Each structure stands twice: as C-alpha cells, then as structure tokens.
Amino acid sequence: MIKKLIFDKETCKVYCENTEGERYAEFPCSFNYWDGYNDRGERRTPIANGTYPITNEDENAMEYGHFVGAAYGTFWVALDTVRDRGWHGYEQGTRRNIDSGTYGCIRSENEDGEEVCRAIEKAIENGIEVTAEVVGDVDEYEKFCVGYDGQQ
C-alpha cells in the first residue's frame, strides 16, 4: 500500500513508495513553470523541496476522476498549501501537455495522477498517513523556466 510519493527534480519522475519503504511504481512529471510574480509579489519558482502531508479531509485537498479545471485536467492533490502549490494534470485537447508551464506546481499525465489518487485514498481509508517529498538539487531556473507569465 502507498505510503509516500517522491517527486524528483533531477529525474523528473514521481516515485510511489509502499509502507515497507520500497519503490513500486514511477511516472513522468514536470516542474516547468512560467517566470514572473504571484499575486503576493513573490517570484515564481517550482514547488520547494520538502515533505508535505497528503489528506482528503476537505474538498480542496484532493480531487480526481472528473474534469477539475482547464489547467488541472482530471486530478488535483494539494501539497504546499502556504503557496498554493500541488500536483495536477492538464486539459487534453488543448495546447497544454505534461511539459506546459504552471505557476509552480508539478504536472503529470491525467491517467497516472488518477491511478495514484485512488491508491492514496485507499491508504488513507486504511489509516495510513501518506506524505509527498519533493527532492532534487538542480538549477531550477535553467532547467524548468519555460517562458514569462504564461507565454510559451
């Protein structure tokens, strides 16, 4: 059963780790972001390295299996609630794709995210505290900045 997600900036992959600490699945992900400033005047950057709890205790924490929104595709998992960062997909049939920029979130394929969301929900229902860890030592601007203020 899933216990931890590891989002790796060096490999651009999300790894699923079980309760025994073994990695059992991996999926591609993207940390690409648009340069610029958020509504609070803070410079945009990819989500910060760190450990984040994953819950489904409120309707804004995790959604999947239906159209969540144009930028989010069919899943959303809140991670850094202080800076409103999370993990999500993208709307298919538009110019967005896995490598499209965000305002600092992590993006994956909708099907991959939905699969992991189902596993997270099952783990939480079984009393397992699931966490997400963002790791990787890279030059974030050089590796992930894809344009300015939503322009690709």
Two structure tokens written together for 26 = 């991996």
The string of DSSP codes covering 8-70 is ETTTTEEEEEETTS-EEEEEE-B--EEESB-TTSPBP-SPPSEEEEE--SSTTTEEEEEEEET
Q: Please give the pLDDT value at position 109.
A: 94
Phi, psi dihedrals of residue 104, rounded to the nearest 5°: 125, 5
Amino acid at site 121: E
One digit per residue, pLDDT tens: the chain, 152 residues? Answer: 999 999 999 999 999 999 999 999 999 999 999 988 888 888 889 999 999 999 876 666 888 888 787 788 999 999 988 888 899 999 877 778 889 889 899 999 999 999 999 999 999 999 999 999 999 999 988 899 887 655 44
Q: Please give the pLDDT value at position 151.
A: 47
Domain boundary assignment for the chain:
30-127
Q: How many CA atoms lie within 13 A of 139 on its CB side?
A: 3
Tokens 């804004």 belong to residue = 60
